[in-house]
Chain A
Amino acid sequence: MSAYWKSNQRRLAPWLFLAPGLAMFALYVVFPIFQSMALSFYDWDGLGEKVWVGTANYVELADDDAFYTSLKNNVIWLVLYLLAVPAGLFIAIFLNQTVRGIRIYKSLFFFPFVISQVVVGLMFSWFYAPGFGIFYQFTEWLFGDGVAMLANEDTVTYGIIVAGLWPQIAYVMILYLTGLNNVAADQIEAARLDGAKGWRMLWYVVLPQLRPATFIAVVVTVIGALRSFDLVSIMTNGGPYGSSRVLSFYMYEQALSEYGYRMGYGAAIAVVLFGIMMIFISGFIWKMWRDETER
């Protein structure tokens, strides 16, 4: 035994070290993905017998207005959430100075990211509250008629996205601040001698060097947008009339709320969301794989 271990430990050791982590990850993450896929072909209330229904859940989904509302909102989330990338870059550039006390400013700008989305959601609900919310009063003063952001089907999703952008911009900002810190000073100086400044400097000299930061910022923003659940649940619970649902929230609502324990139907929604996210995940993995194997 010990002789075998001695001569083979270099081959066995990695699997020994991987075993606990891999086992946990397989049990809680990898298998459940396939279990959900299988479940999407069943009708199940979470307790009784599972009944095989074939593709019935997907057929129902294809004809479900609430599903399309959620899908549409997911697209809006994705597009608008990406504004966090330029906005974060803008704040990072604004703060990338060495004046006194700047470190405290940077930390305080980052603050929203540290706070739970539950708290962020409550803050913004209060901010938008019809009648007395700052936002409501401001719009009342501006237009003579207050805008009840979260009570209106046409504006509710945008109102929630703004709340989501607040911490996300802070996150992107910190990524870019670190990136800017590592931009090669000599290249900047050389470009400056050549007369580059402002936008041209940013576009041709700085941004190319910030590519790793941009990649991570885009990854976390896309994933964050498609994962959005907390704010919808806290701020509107999907309403009014389901108009602010996103796929993640609709899935939860179908599978695990007072509206019914339709686990199979929920699983089908989750599979669709998973499919959408896999498009992006594959892209990210493909790029990371290329970087890895090039080394």
Chain B
Amino acid sequence: MFPRPIEQTTRTSQVLYKLALPLALLLWLLPLLGVALTSFRPGSDIAQGNYFGMPSYFAYENYLDVFRNSPIGRYIFNSFKVTIPVVIGVVALSTMTGFALGIYKFRSNLLVFFLFVAGNFVPFQILMVPVRDLTYNMGLINTTTGLALFHIAFQTGFCTLFMRNFIRSMPFELIEAARVEGVSEIRIFWYIVIPLMRPAIAALSVLIFTFIWNDYFWATVLTTSASTQPVTAGLNSLNGQWIAAWHLVSAGSIIAALPPVLMFFAMQKHFIAGLTLGAVK
């Protein structure tokens, strides 16, 4: 193990380490703690210049205000309307592409694979005008469907890489054996490969949920009104309206951040497995 386990060191360094941990964490999360505290600060405190002390009372009504006086409920709903279909669509497409590229040997296999990988890295701006135009021509501009369709297509790049590498690590003999038995390729996919891919599907779902929930650029390009905008874009327009109302901005930020955060804590193991694929040989 590197570094040397702290239990094997002197008493003093053990104590120091245990003191350093919470201190480092406190510093690391300082911006977040500040915002969390401000979200419970009554507006009158802000007006009096109490930005960082303890709130004079615990103003949970900031959250009620945000829900009552802004379309944030609608924004959150829109975010779900984009995110959930994307997760389903991407998982469906990329299990198939991953299966095709992971199992079959054909001449253009690596070429197709690297097309997906490279496409996944391109700057969004080179896609922006044509994608906006395409969405417009399909009559889907300023709809959650239009936004979701783009995300499904784009995320297929990364997810194909992920699924294909996962399938590569599965025992190939299983598929060979099924083929010898005369099982069709489609049934092999459905009855043998899919069940074995459950952990990969779980990992990808959490990851994609977070990525799409947090997307801001495409939300601003493809949606424009409060009835379709997801919460990231919505929060930005609210920020423009709530000038200096930091208690409301903070409460709104916390609300927007909550779903992926809950998702992360509920599915932590899968999330990290998804993110670190490839980080070990």
Interface residue ranges, A against B (CB under 8 Å): 9-11, 13-18, 20-22, 24-25, 27-33, 35-36, 39, 46, 93-94, 96-99, 102, 105, 107-112, 114-120, 122-124, 126-127, 132, 134, 137, 166, 171, 174-176, 178-183, 185, 188, 192, 197, 201-202, 205-206, 212-213, 216-217, 219, 223, 226-227, 229-230, 233-234, 247-248, 251-252, 255-256, 263, 266-267, 269-271, 273-274, 277, 280-281, 284-285, 288-289, 292-293
Residue pairs across A and B with Cβ atoms less than 8 A apart, 29 shown, are A11-B106, A14-B104, A17-B96, A18-B97, A18-B112, A20-B93, A33-B122, A39-B129, A46-B133, A93-B3, A97-B17, A99-B6, A108-B28, A112-B28, A118-B253, A126-B250, A127-B34, A175-B276, A179-B276, A212-B281, A227-B123, A230-B217, A266-B125, A267-B129, A270-B125, A273-B126, A281-B118, A281-B122, A285-B114
Task: Determine the distance from Cα of A116 to Cα of B264 in the docked complex, in whole angstroms.
Answer: 13
Interface flags for B110-140 (1: CB within 8 Å of A; 0: not) read 1010111111011111111111111000000
Asked if A201 and B152 make an inter-chain contact with CB atoms under 8 angstroms apart, the answer reads no
Q: Which residues of A contact B64 (CB under 8 A)?
A: none
Task: Determine the distance from Cα of A31 to Cα of B131 in the docked complex, in whole angstroms.
Answer: 10
Which 10 A/B pairs are nearest by Cβ-Cβ distance? A28-B153, A32-B130, A116-B214, A17-B100, A21-B97, A14-B104, A13-B185, A178-B276, A35-B130, A24-B153
Q: Which residues of B contact A201 (CB under 8 A)?
A: 2
B interface SS class: helix
Nearest Cβ on chain B to A290's Cβ, whole angstroms: 11
Q: Which residues of B contact A118 (CB under 8 A)?
A: 214, 216, 232, 235-236, 253, 256
Asked if B96 and A18 make an inter-chain contact with CB atoms under 8 angstroms apart, the answer reads yes
Task: Determine the distance from Cα of A93 to Cα of B150 in the docked complex, in whole angstroms.
Answer: 39
Nearest Cβ on chain B to A195's Cβ, whole angstroms: 13
Q: Which residues of B contact A217 (CB under 8 A)?
A: 279
Interface flags for B4-29 (1: CB within 8 Å of A; 0: not) read 11110000000001100100110011
Nearest CB in chain B to that of A292: its residue: B110
Q: Which of A17, A33, A233 contacts B126 (CB 8 A)?
A: A33
**B203 contacts the other chain (CB 8 A):** no
A interface SS class: helix
Q: Which of B7, B115, B119, B214 has the most CB of A within 10 A?
A: B214
Task: Determine the distance from Cα of A44 to Cα of B157 in the docked complex, in whole angstroms.
Answer: 30
Q: Which of A15, A102, A178 contacts B279 (CB 8 A)?
A: A178
Task: Determine the distance from Cα of A181 to Cα of B280 in the docked complex, in whole angstroms.
Answer: 9
Nearest Cβ on chain A to B20's Cβ, whole angstroms: 8
Asked if A115 and B125 make an inter-chain contact with CB atoms under 8 angstroms apart, the answer reads no
Q: Which residues of B contact A293 (CB under 8 A)?
A: 110
- Knowing A99-B6, A114-B210, A281-B121, the reply to whether A29 touches B153 (Cβ < 8 A) is yes
Nearest CB in chain A to that of B49: its residue: A132
Q: Which residues of A contact B157 (CB under 8 A)?
A: 25, 29
Nearest Cβ on chain A to B126's Cβ, whole angstroms: 4
Q: Which residues of B contact A256 (CB under 8 A)?
A: 128, 132, 221
Given contacts A17-B97, A27-B153, A97-B6, 12 further A-B contacts (CB under 8 A): A17-B189, A22-B112, A28-B154, A117-B216, A118-B216, A126-B35, A126-B246, A132-B51, A229-B217, A248-B124, A251-B125, A274-B125
Interface residue ranges, B against A (CB under 8 Å): 1-7, 17-18, 21, 24-25, 28-32, 34-35, 38, 49, 51-52, 93-94, 96-97, 99-101, 103-104, 106, 109-110, 112, 114-119, 121-134, 149-150, 152-154, 156-157, 160, 184-186, 189, 210, 213-214, 216-217, 220-221, 232, 235-236, 239, 246, 249-250, 253, 256-257, 260-261, 264-265, 268, 272, 275-276, 278-281
Q: Which residues of A contact B30 (CB under 8 A)?
A: 134
Nearest CB in chain A to that of B276: its residue: A178
Task: Determine the distance from Cα of A273 to Cα of B3 in the docked complex, in whole angstroms.
Answer: 40
Q: Which residues of A contact B150 (CB under 8 A)?
A: 28
Nearest CB in chain A to that of B2: its residue: A206
Nearest Cβ on chain A to B274's Cβ, whole angstroms: 11
Q: Which residues of B contact A134 (CB under 8 A)?
A: 30, 34, 52
- Knowing A14-B106, A96-B3, A126-B38, the reply to whether A115 touches B276 (Cβ < 8 A) is no
Nearest Cβ on chain A to B83's Cβ, whole angstroms: 12
Q: Which of B123, B154, B189, B214 contacts A226 (CB 8 A)?
A: B123
